[in-house]
Amino acid sequence: MKTRLAFLLLASLLGLAVGRAADKAAAWTPMFNGKDLSGWKTNDEVPGAFSVVNGELKVGGGRSHLFYGANGDASFKNFEFKAKVKTTKGGNSGIYIHTAFEPKGWPSKGYECQVNSTHTDVKKTGGLYAVKDVLNNAPSTDDVWFDYYIKVEGKHIVIQIDGKTTVDYTEPADWDPAKALKNMAGRKLSSGTIAIQGHDPKSVTYYKDIFIRTLP
């Protein structure tokens, strides 16, 4: 009996330890401190395109990209990402996933999750740019904060805006973006960092409450 009780107690303690480890692994990690750009690296294609105003990340001024990681080199494979985003009239931005730091130009690696409520581009908020687009009617409204959620697990990408799924996409096993897309040979899942896009001189967008957590 004592041996059985000892075994049950040990099993219980091990289960508790495993549970705590799982909880810790699943914790959301803040990516933006609301004070400065610590933990990020901008390519400064347009100096000053990224700034912090009233605890919010302001994006505007022209094409430039802000990459997560002290050297823009963070790496995520399976993860969940969430942020609050606000567009302004005519604003265009994007959230790149599985990408890598580049000193200029549009990031060539990974996918872009579109941010655009009223910009002239017909590809709107919540789409997987050029792959699984949300066309014409944006699920977001200018000057109103909305929740942006991205989940990547294996070859599966889910995007939700304010809890509503806008993309549920599985990358085909034979996917060859070099053949399927013009000038987008890097549109493929692998691993990499997160990048926030500054699009053009007239586009202003805001981000806050930016979090990520890794998945097994």
Let me know whether 88 and 143 are in one domain. Answer: yes
Query: 12-26, 42-56, 98-112, 198-212: which has the minimum mean pLDDT?
Result: 12-26
Q: Domain of residue 183: give its range.
A: 31-214
Question: What is the pLDDT averaged over residues 82-108?
Answer: 98
Residue 108: predicted pLDDT: 97
Q: Where are the alpha helices (DSSP H) in the chain?
A: 2-25, 177-180
CB burial string 34-57: b at 16+ within 10 A, e below: eeeeeebbbbebbeebbebeeebb
Let me know whether 151 and 115 are in one domain. Answer: yes
Residue 6: predicted pLDDT: 45
Question: What is the pLDDT averaged over residues 144-166?
Answer: 98
Let me know whether 167 and 196 are in one domain. Answer: yes
CA 198 to chain centre: 14
Let me know whether 110 and 14 are in one domain. Answer: no
Rg (CA), the chain: 20
Residue 109: predicted pLDDT: 98
User: Token match 């009239």: residue?
Assistant: 89
Q: Identify the residue with better confidence: 144 or 21.
A: 144
Let me know whether 20 and 45 are in one domain. Answer: no
CATH number for the domain spanning 128: value is 2.60.120.560
Contact predicate 140/92, CB 8 Å: no
Let me know whether 122 and 187 are in one domain. Answer: yes
Let me know whether 35 and 7 are in one domain. Answer: no
- Count how many domains the chain has: 2
Let me know whether 1 and 105 are in one domain. Answer: no
Question: What is the pLDDT averaged over residues 110-114?
Answer: 98
Let me know whether 9 and 37 are in one domain. Answer: no
How many angstroms separate the CA atoms of 89 and 143, rounded?
8
CB burial string 96-110: b at 16+ within 10 A, e below: bbbbbbbeeebbebb
* Nearest residue to 194 via CA among 74, 84, 87: 74
Residue 5: predicted pLDDT: 43
Give residues with Cβ within 8 angstroms of 133, minimum separation 6.
Answer: 114, 122, 123, 124, 127
pLDDT at residue 47 is higher than 60: yes
* SS percent in the chain: helix, strand, coil, step 5: 15, 45, 45
Query: For residue range 8-26, what is the model confidence (pLDDT) as tens digits?
Result: 444 454 444 444 544 455 7
Let me know whether 194 and 129 are in one domain. Answer: yes
Let me know whether 15 and 42 are in one domain. Answer: no
Per DSSP, the three-state class of 167 is: strand
Let me know whether 79 and 2 are in one domain. Answer: no
Residue 18: predicted pLDDT: 42
Question: What is the pLDDT averaged over residues 49-70?
Answer: 97
